Amino acid sequence: MLPGMTTRGYHHGDLRRALLDAAVQAIEESGPAALSLRDLARRAGVSHAAPAHHFGDKAGLLTALAVEGYDRLADELGGAGDDLLEVGVAYVRFAVDHRAHFEVMFQPDLYRGDDAEVRAARDRAHAVLRGGLAALPAAAPDRDALAAWSIVHGFATLWLAGALPPEAGRDPEQTARAVIRRLFE
């Protein structure tokens, strides 16, 4: 066996990635609460000690997913420029494309929300979201930020839950754009 390789031939960093990917798949199927490290090892086809070696425990694994999720969210919101409408649509797109990350991020009981990396990534995402609001004439910036966050988060959550009626259409970004516009009328 080469140095840095595991029994299955993963490089160390690749094994971590493989475990995170297996966790995403498991969470998409059954949600984060049902996840176990043992099940994860089985899915990734590695020794059952491997997840604990990389993440310590289940909360450690979900903390890593939360960090990754907030980092990606900040990147995607940042990529939408300073148009609040597009920032909101990017938020919904992130939730739809990364539903496992999104689900974990907003269940802070399941991970270590006060972890320094989580806090840094979360603060970055919040800052980008608020940056999108700066272009608005706002009498009450805190309240307006909360309204914008609520409307995109609520839409994304209802969409992911399959709770919306047929008239909501089939394209989440298109419907989200119409819904968010309601804030500017």
Q: With respect to a copy of itself, which residue has the nearer C-beta, 1 or 167?
A: 167
Q: Is 119 a binder of a copy of itself (CB under 8 A)? A: no
Q: With respect to a copy of itself, which residue has the nearer C-beta, 85 or 168?
A: 168
Q: Of 16-24, 41-49, 72-80, 140-148, which part binds a copy of itself (CB under 8 A)?
A: 140-148
- Whose tokens are 């999720």? That residue is 69
Burial 96-134 (b: 16+ CB within 10 A, else e): eebbbbbbbbeeeebbbeebeebeebbebbbebbbebbe
Listed residue (51, 48, 50, 47) closest to 61, CA to CA: 51
Cβ(28)–Cβ(55) below 8 Å: no
Sites for a copy of itself among residues 97-116 (CB under 8 A): 106-109, 113
Q: Is 33 a binder of a copy of itself (CB under 8 A)? A: yes
Q: What are 116's two structure tokens?
A: 């320094």
Q: Of 41-49, 67-75, 79-87, 157-165, which part binds a copy of itself (CB under 8 A)?
A: 157-165
Give me the least distance between CB of 51 and a copy of itself, in Å please. 19
Q: Is 171 a binder of a copy of itself (CB under 8 A)? A: no
Give me the amino acid identity at 109: D
Q: Is 90 a binder of a copy of itself (CB under 8 A)? A: no
Cβ(92)–Cβ(121) below 8 Å: no
Residues that bind a copy of itself (CB under 8 A): 30-31, 33-34, 106-109, 113, 126, 140, 142-144, 146-147, 149-158, 161-165, 167-168, 175, 178-179, 182-183
